[in-house]
Structure 1
Amino acid sequence: MASVVIVLVLAATVLVAMLALEIAERDMKGVIGDQQYASISSAAAFIDDRLDAKKQLMHALAADLPLAARTDAHQVQAYLEARAGLRTEFLNLTAFASDGRLIASLRAIPSGASITGAGTQYFEATVDSKKGIVSAPFQSRLLKVPVMLVTAPLFDDAGKLLMVLAGTIALQDSFFLRQVDRLKPGKSGYAYVMTTDGILVGHPDKARLMQHIHQRPGTNKATDMALAGYEGWTEALNKDGAEGIYSYKRLREAEWILAARYPTDEAFAPMAEMRQQAVLVGAAVALLAGLLAWLLIHRMLAPLEALRRNVSSIRRDGADIALLQGGTQDEIGELGSAFYDLMAEREQALARTRASEQRARIIADSVPALIGFVNRDQCYEFANAHYQDMLGIDPKSMIGQSVRATLGERNYGRIADKLAAAMRGEHLHFEAQFEARGRDVHYTFDYTPALADDTGSGGVYILVTDISERKTAELILAASEKRLQLITDNLPVLISYIDSVHHFQFANATFDKWFGVAPGSLVGRALADVFGEAVYQHARPYLETCFGGQTVTFEVKMVVAGSQKILATTYIPDLQGDASVAGVYALTHDMTHVKEVEEKLIQLARIDSLTGIANRRRFVEALYQASERARRHGGAMALAYLDIDHFKNINDTHGHAVGDAVLKEFARRLLGNVRATDTVARLSGDEFVIIFEDLNSEQEVLPLAAKIAMAIRMPFDAAGVSLAVTASIGIALFSGAAQTHEELLANADSALYRAKHNGRDGVAMHGR
């Protein structure tokens, strides 16, 4: 029976402890996985932004290369060297002819080296797609290091490919890949980058760069899932058989996967230690309880054994209890019998009382807690055996002693007020620390008054339970939460948790840095109260979508620290086991700088770098806008096509520096002699166009063109050389909705050639 008790108590204790730890471990695992995935998602967005910025930079670099220079390798080399400042963005800038020959490089090419792009993935993919790409990583033949390229194709006016510009990014030294190393989770975790084909682009072990992730023998389920397209976090065994938490996020701008691994052993080391302690303590408690039960049962059965022996003796000897009276049937005998009966009843009552007290003592000594009773003088009248086990005090020596003398001044001072209140009739439950066997131990106290009358308590029943293990677990959990809070508070992003009624339940310290609002004051406040009604109404549809179970990202403009910022916010649903959404994790990044760079690149792509006026792209946009206005309002519009007479002779005679100076002055004079509503643009070389809008009549354009021609005839001072420059001007009138932009430009071009045919330095109008 004792063994059964031991087994049952052991099983129940271990089961409850293991179940509690399993639930805590599962919840912690979810928090760690979600946080790790959110961290690499933020890093992936950063890398995407950096790659997109480099693509835009290469596109602008290609657009700025003059058409005339695109067939001259020396001019291309000079063009690249003039932009040596781009080495902060690229390890090298190179140019390849349409047949793949390397014709220019910002870095010196080794003597005798023969380098071609023909047959390479980056060159062939750019030629086939006719647009810039981000290449797969490869070993550079020129630089002898692992690199990737950002390309941009260049074409002539007919759309024929002339060359491919390429910007080289060294994988080991790139700024955005160095940021990946900082994502290292824990002490032994790490982050890495691989292509969607499994080639390692960034890894703490530099020897593995450019190797396949599966080059090492073995399998990893998480890696296979990521290569198959999975995004998120999961738990899996690595090729060494060690468990880890893996997170994966694919990039938008490159066929890359950003990944992180956090060893499960490290993440849950405190939980493992707690699990071991729980098993050991549970086993010890169960063993002790079983042993005590066996001893107590043995003691309880001892009186029965004595009774059995007495009854057996009486039955065996044939004696009758009436013989004990030893008297005759007279008054003395009857008195003896009556006295015998009275004493027998008294002994029976005493036996029943002793048995009841013994059972109560057994029960009290079996409970793993301190059980006692103190009278209204605060002296002990009862104490169970666990006072010896837990406090090292013999319970027998406590009887009749005061609580103060028994516990000592320090311990008594911690419960004196509570004990006095219980003596007044209050039921109390509280926690306190006691010094036990030389160390402070956490206990819970339950004081139940034994009411004697209306004036107060006749004493207090005491139940004290050791909760040190629970407190230790709480402290470990609090330390873990503190570490998580420290991490989130030092990330340059807003991190918060929003409940189902759109109120904050958590916010990191970045709220204080950006908005001057203490994170603690945000808990329970509505989004509209913190960010304003306008921002809340903008974010509300995305919140509702996220509460539907979808991750969403959006942008909003807000004032942060006194300046206008563009913030990108990602909402991630907190999915529960039943697929419901308990709340939303919100991560907000400052995208202002990225957007400013984007806007600058867009503007640079529409301005002619030599003259500072609109380029062909901006001209096409302006022509479309002007024609639409003319169609809507019915106003007259004309297009002038201008060409500098004998410009080639100027270049051949005086050099390109003088030619460039002539182009700049020509553009300046055009701008100075048109109306505010007109648009001046340089198409290529010495070809310019002017869009005349809001003309009162079709005849108004000729005086405007004549004015421009006269302004051009004034002597040019180009780079110290005085020149007489003239221009031929062809004009075409916009005929309305039926006419395309190509037809209008062709008509102006036809009129230009007629002006040249007529002797140059003049104006010709199409159709006249």
Structure 2
Amino acid sequence: MVTLRQRLTAALTLLVLLTCALVAGWSLHVAKREMVATIGTQQFDLLSASAAYLDADVVHMQALLRTVIDGLAGGAPGACGRAQPSIERHTVLRNEFFNVTVFDATGLLIGDMRNPARIGTKALGSRPYFQDTMRSRKGLISEPFVSALSNRPVILITEPVFDSQGNIACILGGSVDLSQSAFFGQISRLRPGRTGYLFALTRDGLILHHPDPSRLLKNVLTEQGTAVSSTVAAMHGWEGWKLGRSKNGTLAIITYKRMRNPEWILGSVYPFDEAFSGVNAAQRAAIIGAALVALCAGLVGWFVTDSLLRPLQRLRWNVVAVEEGRESIEVFNLDSRDEVGALGRALYSLSTKRKEAETKLAHLAMTDALTGLGNRRRLQAEIHEIAATAEKLRTPVTLAFLDVDHFKSINDRLGHDVGDLVLMEFSLRLRAAVKSTDHVFRLAGDEFVIVLEHREAGVDLDAVAHKILDLTRAPFFVTDGALLVTTSIGMATCDWSDVELGALLRCADEALYATKQRGRDGFTLRTCR
């Protein structure tokens, strides 16, 4: 006969077994759901950083082509004819481009970095990238095509060179090999897991980068089989991640991020079975262990799951903390040798490069592109520091407002290219006329500003003004002959306690007007009150 004690013991044992199995199974289910969100967010953050890095790389390559344009003297007569030695002289181009070519305004090849023998034998005026550049009059990134030189998929980054009349004299083109170059290779090491992969396609669905070479330059909409719905959504502007089926039917975390320039789509596929292999094994072990050992097995299963999730959860918290500004990117620089550590270090590397790119862009935003001087934005940013220094040293601040006399006439008579050369030479002479502690800015056109620190009113300021006038009067050799240039200066000085940019600019502008009223080629000094 089964006793009540035995029945209660059996019922309690069964209840504990069932409770442990349900708790273990449910706990791991919740953990897996959280882990999906964590990995999806991490994949999107990695892809976002990769897109920013590639955007910065494109900007860098466009800047390299512009250095060649600078070497061609801004389209001066005959400059495009010297294109071949110019591109050969810029050896750094070989590291960034598969090839650099130059076409004249008819599409005839007049420069070829890798195969000079083709010069004069290729007429590519009918190519879409040539016609689009001629029509838009600005640089662009072509649609991918198969290179006749390498028989591999490439894109072409173009930059037009203008002559003194504003017409396109020639076009520089830098080709990037999509299959073997370091362009996509720079982010390939960030592929998720062992079997995961990265891919890239245009917003029209043309495949640019894929681990399967046979799919390159094919369109996902016309390939055999149905296009993945998430890919179609990404082509229409959607960004993010989702758990779905890849092209071959594998369940995976699929992530998409669009670049800014060009508007390509980066994607990653992380197979679900690989991403959650450890969790799946722990779930099976926890359920079987709960059935065999009851409470002990359930506790062990929970502990294992919690241990597996803790590093990834911590990394997720770090991502959120960095996004909210509560932590620096140093939290990603992990010492652990496992996959989480590698993922953190990859995030740290990408974040560092992105920060460097943002710093460089911020510097460019505050620098005048023609003269290299600070622009109006930098003047507004630095005036507070200048005022603080003046207050600390109890010294006055003087602002000089200058422009080039009859600059419009120079532009009208000799062209804007000569006008630009005058401005560049003028900026060099201004730098030479003042101390290294003074600040020289170009506001717009031929308007320049000099902020003079630690200067006493009177003789010292007169000497600075005369030095600027004397240096400016020396002939400018920017054309076939000497060009005589003068400047008018308006100077406004204020006490250290009254440094205010708007008031200084207005006072200096009034002084400049007074100088022009007296016939230009001189200066006027006023005290700003």
| TM-score normalised per structure 2 | 0.62
Q: 1:265 aligns with which of 237, 262, 273?
A: 273
CA deviations on 1:167-199 (whole Å, 9 max, x unpaired) are 121112332411332122122111111111122
* Offset, 1:498: 3.6
CA distance in 1, matches of 2:55, 2:289: 52
Unmatched runs of 5 consecutive residues or more in structure 2: 1-6, 342-346, 381-397, 411-420, 441-445, 453-460, 491-520, 522-529
Contact 1:53 1:597 in 2 (8 A): no
The change in CA–CA distance for 1:496 and 1:600 in structure 2 (over 3 A counts) is closer
Contact 1:84 1:106 in 2 (8 A): no
Instruction: Tell me whether 1:251 sits opposite 2:288 in the alignment.
Output: no
Instruction: Tell me whether 1:242 sits opposite 2:247 in the alignment.
Output: no
CA distance in 2, matches of 1:504, 1:732: 51
The change in CA–CA distance for 1:484 and 1:281 in structure 2 (over 3 A counts) is closer
1:538 is matched with none
Q: 1:475 aligns with which of 304, 307, 318?
A: 304
CA distance in 1, matches of 2:199, 2:470: 64
Q: 1:708 aligns with which of 461, 468, 474?
A: 474
1:139 is matched with 146
CA distance in 1, matches of 2:297, 2:179: 51
SS in 2 for 1:87: helix
* Offset, 1:143: 3.4
Contact 1:189 1:260 in 2 (8 A): yes
CA distance in 1, matches of 2:93, 2:116: 18
> Which runs of structure 2 are paired with 1:98-497 in the superposition (5 Å)?
98-109=105-116, 114-214=121-221, 215-274=223-282, 276=284, 466-482=295-311, 495-497=318-320
CA distance in 1, matches of 2:176, 2:238: 27
The change in CA–CA distance for 1:497 and 1:72 in structure 2 (over 3 A counts) is closer
CA deviations on 1:339-358 (whole Å, 9 max, x unpaired) are xxxxxxxxxxxxxxxxxxxx
1:409 is matched with none
1:91 is matched with 98
* Offset, 1:496: 4.4
Instruction: Tell me whether 1:727 sits opposite 2:482 in the alignment.
Output: yes
The change in CA–CA distance for 1:200 and 1:249 in structure 2 (over 3 A counts) is same
Q: 2:357 aligns with which of 594, 618, 623?
A: 594
Contact 1:674 1:704 in 2 (8 A): no
Contact 1:222 1:235 in 2 (8 A): no
Instruction: Tell me whether 1:510 sits opposite 2:265 in the alignment.
Output: no
> Which runs of structure 2 are paired with 1:560-571 in the superposition (5 Å)?
none
SS in 1 for 2:92: helix
SS in 1 for 2:169: strand
Residue type of the partner of 2:304? L
Contact 1:497 1:505 in 2 (8 A): no
2:515 is matched with none
The change in CA–CA distance for 1:70 and 1:178 in structure 2 (over 3 A counts) is farther
Residue type of the partner of 1:268? F
SS in 2 for 1:589: helix
Residue type of the partner of 2:307? A
The change in CA–CA distance for 1:734 and 1:191 in structure 2 (over 3 A counts) is same
CA distance in 1, matches of 2:312, 2:134: 51
Unmatched runs of 5 consecutive residues or more in structure 1: 286-389, 391-464, 514-518, 520-568, 571-586, 608-613, 626-631, 644-662, 681-688, 713-724, 736-762, 764-768
Residue type of the partner of 2:182? F
SS in 2 for 1:467: helix
Contact 2:204 2:235 in 1 (8 A): yes
The change in CA–CA distance for 1:707 and 1:177 in structure 2 (over 3 A counts) is closer
Instruction: Tell me whether 1:40 sits opposite 2:47 in the alignment.
Output: yes
Residue type of the partner of 2:405? L
CA distance in 1, matches of 2:113, 2:323: 57
CA distance in 2, matches of 1:110, 1:281: 74
* Offset, 1:146: 1.5
Residue type of the partner of 1:470? L
**Which shifted more, 80-89 or 267-276?**
267-276
* Offset, 1:633: 8.8
* Offset, 1:67: 4.3
CA distance in 2, matches of 1:34, 1:281: 32
Contact 1:138 1:147 in 2 (8 A): yes
* Offset, 1:114: 4.1
Taking only the aligned residue pairs, the percentage that are identical comes to: 26
CA deviations on 1:632-651 (whole Å, 9 max, x unpaired) are 999886527899xxxxxxxx
The change in CA–CA distance for 1:255 and 1:120 in structure 2 (over 3 A counts) is farther
CA distance in 1, matches of 2:166, 2:72: 15
Residue type of the partner of 1:708? A
CA distance in 2, matches of 1:39, 1:46: 10
> Which runs of structure 2 are paired with 1:612-631 in the superposition (5 Å)?
614=371
* Offset, 1:53: 1.4
Residue type of the partner of 2:333? T
The change in CA–CA distance for 1:500 and 1:252 in structure 2 (over 3 A counts) is closer
CA distance in 2, matches of 1:505, 1:484: 17
Residue type of the partner of 2:70? A
CA distance in 2, matches of 1:122, 1:599: 31
**Which shifted more, 68-77 or 176-185?**
68-77
Residue type of the partner of 1:98? A
Contact 2:27 2:302 in 1 (8 A): no
CA deviations on 1:267-320 (whole Å, 9 max, x unpaired) are 2334444555667678x78xxxxxxxxxxxxxxxxxxxxxxxxxxxxxxxxxxx
CA distance in 1, matches of 2:322, 2:104: 59
SS in 2 for 1:729: coil
SS in 2 for 1:187: coil
SS in 1 for 2:252: strand
2:504 is matched with none
* Offset, 1:259: 0.7
Residue type of the partner of 2:300? K
CA distance in 2, matches of 1:47, 1:706: 44
1:63 is matched with 70
The change in CA–CA distance for 1:271 and 1:85 in structure 2 (over 3 A counts) is closer
Residue type of the partner of 2:87? L
* Offset, 1:672: 11
The change in CA–CA distance for 1:218 and 1:173 in structure 2 (over 3 A counts) is same
> Which runs of structure 2 are paired with 1:66-81 in the superposition (5 Å)?
66-67=73-74, 71=78, 73-81=80-88
* Offset, 1:63: 3.1
CA distance in 2, matches of 1:250, 1:503: 27
Between Structure 1 and Structure 2, the one with more strand by share is 1
Contact 1:496 1:505 in 2 (8 A): no
CA deviations on 1:621-666 (whole Å, 9 max, x unpaired) are 9xxx9xxxxxx999886527899xxxxxxxxxxxxxxxxxxx9xxx
Q: How many residues align?
A: 419
Give RMSD over aligned pairs.
Answer: 5.5
SS in 2 for 1:157: coil
Contact 1:640 1:729 in 2 (8 A): no
Residue type of the partner of 1:151? T
* Offset, 1:66: 1.4
SS in 2 for 1:50: helix
CA distance in 2, matches of 1:108, 1:220: 41
Contact 1:249 1:258 in 2 (8 A): yes
The change in CA–CA distance for 1:144 and 1:27 in structure 2 (over 3 A counts) is same
The change in CA–CA distance for 1:691 and 1:727 in structure 2 (over 3 A counts) is farther
Residue type of the partner of 1:48? D
SS in 1 for 2:142: coil
